[in-house]
Amino acid sequence: MVEYRMCKRCVMDTSDPEIVFDENGVCNHCHTYDRLVRDYVLDGEAGSQKLEQIAAKIQSDGKGRQYDCVIGVSGGVDSTYVAYLVKKIGLRPLAVHLDNGWDSELAVKNIEETLKRLGIDLYTEVLDWEEFKDLQSAFLKASTPDSEIPSDHAIFSVLSNLAEKLGIKYVILGNNVRTETHLPRSWSQGHFDWKYIREVHKRFGTRPLKTFPHYGFFTFYRRMVTQKRVEILNYVGYTKQEALRVLQEELGWRYYGGKHYESIYTRFYQGYILPEKFGFDKRRSHVSSLICSGEMTREQALEELKTPTYAPSMQEEDREYVVKKLGLTDEEFTAIMNAPKKSYWDYPSYGQFMNRPMVKRLVPAVKKMIMWFK
């Protein structure tokens, strides 16, 4: 039995089984945060200059095309602020949304209203519901904490597939160091691993995946060379508080109550399934990054963690809705919640191949080669 510990700087704890503490009781996630800020974040004048350089390069490379970049939009804070920012710096984005059947009504309204005000065109990819329902159910039955992986994989697949089809070189992302760094690998992994997704579905699914957007091992690495992923929020002194103010005051955007809660399934999965079955409260990850970025004190974060992930009455409503929409019975869902916990490593994956000693030795050379080509 591992002794319970919590980081002295943030609120990450031993619910992450791979967490490591230094001699001062500070966790590895905080050290990773400091390193990534040092290596990738630019503030003030340096950030403004970097942003100008990026914008000029994107505009130049996209000359003569209808769009010079693609952006993903979910209706959430980060992606909506990216849409606001790319227009502000003079880019011509195509917004891409993945409709996986779980959008909240508020998320749809946020997307429609903000893009209309910004004058940005929208492309929506609607997943085949019967296929996707089968895939999501398969991941629940696999009993890993990775049931959001299919959506994440499809989102990036649609973005990169569409960019390649339209000859667009730049995919601008809402990922950023300051608010998304404390991410335990054991809480979710395999986002880019099509073999893992395919194998889980093969074991627990009931119908073929004929239309699900995906990309394989070699396509992923080829696009690392042919496409540029730009994490634009790392150059603007990004803070959640300021982003919320701008979106609400200038774009009529409305808050939905939690990080990624613009999706009904995500709200239920992060707010109910993960903490109830696996003991993972993803708020711990979110607020820990905000502590390190100075947006929240550790005391404020601890107080937030004392409250329910979201209203218990809504959890009950979501449970009933999700179980019914996935075509499960209450007994089947209860069995899923009580099934022995598994992990990414319990199923075949590209990760197992990449973890071989010989391959691990080659990875640094491959990364250098990719950077050279870029």
Q: What does the DSSP 8-state code read for residue 171?
A: E
Per-residue CA distances from 47 to 183, 252, 258 (Å): 25, 27, 28
Per residue in 255-273, pLDDT tens? 765 454 568 899 999 999 9
Between these two residues, 365 and 22, which has the higher pLDDT value? 22
Average pLDDT for 232-259: 85
- Please state, in angstroms and rounded to a whole number, the distance separating the CA atoms of residues 21 and 2: 13
Q: Do residues 9 and 268 touch, judged by C-beta distance below 8 A?
A: no
**pLDDT surpassing 90 at residue 75:** no
- Between CA 113 and CA 253 the distance in angstroms is 7
- The domain of 205 spans 28-346
Residues in the chain: 374
Query: 193-214: buried (b, 16+ CB within 10 Å) or exposed (e) per residue?
Result: bbbbbbbbbeebbeeebeebbb
pLDDT digits (tens, 9 = 90+) for 304-330: 999 999 899 999 999 999 999 999 999
CA quadruple 171, 175, 181, 183: dihedral positive or negative? Answer: negative
Which amino acid would we find at residue 321?
Answer: Y
Question: Average pLDDT for residues 11-36, to the nearest whole number?
Answer: 97
**Which residues, other chains included, contact 348 with Cβ-Cβ below 8 Å and sequence gap of 6+?**
195, 196, 199
**pLDDT exceeds 60 at position 366:** no
Cβ atoms within 10 Å, residue 127:
21
**pLDDT tens per residue, range 183-203:** 999 999 999 999 999 999 999
Rounded Cα distance between 274 and 187, Å, is 9
Pairing of β 170-173 and β 121-126: unpaired
Q: Are 210 and 130 in contact (CB under 8 A)?
A: no
Question: Phi and psi of 164, rounded to 5°?
Answer: -65, -45
Predicted local confidence at residue 240, as pLDDT: 87
* CA nearest to 173, candidates 235, 124, 88, 222: 235
Question: Per the domain annotation, does 362 fall within a domain?
Answer: no
Mean of pLDDT values over 273-277 = 96
- DSSP, collapsed to helix, strand or coil, labels residue 122 as strand
Residue-level pLDDT at 367: 56
Please tell me the predicted confidence (pLDDT) of residue 276. Answer: 96
The CATH number for 83's domain is 3.40.50
Q: What is the residue whose two structure tokens read 């335990």?
A: 184
For residue 252, name the pLDDT band (cuts at 50, 70, 90). Answer: confident
Q: What average pLDDT score do residues 4-15 get? A: 97
* Structural domain includes residue 2: no
> What would the mean pLDDT of 103-132 be, rounded to a whole number?
93
The pLDDT score that the predictor gives to residue 353 is: 72
Please give the pLDDT value at position 260.
47
Q: Please, where are the H alpha helices in 294-356?
A: 298-305, 312-325, 330-338, 350-354
Within-domain flag for 15: no
Q: Is residue 109 part of a domain?
A: yes
pLDDT of residue 197: 97
Task: Tell how far CA 176 is from the center of its chain.
Answer: 10
pTM of the model: 0.90
Task: Tell me what pLDDT residue 214 has.
Answer: 95
Residue 344 has pLDDT above 70, yes or no: yes
Which residues, in sequence order, are CB contacts of 369 under 8 Å at separation 6+? none
Q: Can you read off the two tokens belonging to residue 208?
A: 């073929």
In a domain, 17, yes or no: no
Q: What is the CA radius of gyration of the chain?
A: 21
Establish if 310 belongs to a structural domain: yes
Residue 106's pLDDT is 84
Q: How far apart, in Å, do the first and last CA atoms of the chain sit?
A: 47
What proportion of the chain, given as a percentage, has pLDDT over 70?
Answer: 93
72 pLDDT higher than 80: yes
| Helix 282-293 and helix 298-305, axial crossing angle in degrees, nearest 10 | 160
Q: How many domains does the chain have?
A: 1
Q: Would you say residue 197 lies in a domain?
A: yes
pLDDT of residue 263: 81
pLDDT higher than 70, residue 363: no
pLDDT at 249 over 60: yes
Residue 210 has pLDDT above 80, yes or no: yes
User: Would residue 18 count as lying in a domain?
Assistant: no
